[in-house]
Amino acid sequence: MRNVFNNEVLESFSQVNKAIYKLAKMDAEKIGLTVLQLKVLYKLSVKPNIGLGELAENLKLTNSTVSGVIDRLVNNKFVERNNPPHDRRAITLHLTKDGESKLAQFIDSKTELQLVKRLNKINQMPEEDIEQLLRIHKQIINILS
């Protein structure tokens, strides 16, 4: 039996996570954002007028962490806070035109994004390898949850 605290599987997950983050960080920095700011812009483009709590839940982060990111995005005029007419106490978030442009700048980047480029290589792996990887990941998630 392998030592739980010196586990090659855990180290492998850590290395994959670091590699993905490094590429995402490099790509986000090209347009002057952090990885988390980029994720927030993307989430708001997919789900406009979402509340802070729901956004935090979607990102699997705390409200205070997301609130700080939103503050910076609002200051940069990429995101706007609104009070919906049906609930004056609630606040919803949506992208501004500048936020949409910033996200488009990332998505439509003429220089191919490194993360996308590498993920496309993963998608070229044999289908059965990808299915086996996903099946094993689900098993691990079930064990850890």
| 80: containing domain | 31-108
Q: Is residue 135 part of a domain?
A: no
| Cα pseudo-dihedral 19, 22, 28, 29, rounded to 10 | -160
11 pLDDT higher than 60 = yes
Quote the strand ranges of the chain, DSSP E. Answer: 50-51, 79-82, 92-95
Helices within 30-92 (DSSP H only) = 35-46, 52-59, 63-75
- The answer as to whether 26 is a domain residue is no
Residue 5, domain member (yes or no): no
Reading phi first (left if > 0) and then psi (alpha if -120 to 50, else beta), residue 32 is in left
* 42 in any annotated domain: yes
Domain containing residue 50: CATH number:
1.10.10.10
In a domain, 118, yes or no: no
Please tell me the total count of domains within the chain: 1
pLDDT in tens, 18-77: 999 999 899 899 889 999 999 999 999 999 999 999 999 999 999 999 999 999 999 999
Q: Is residue 10 part of a domain?
A: no
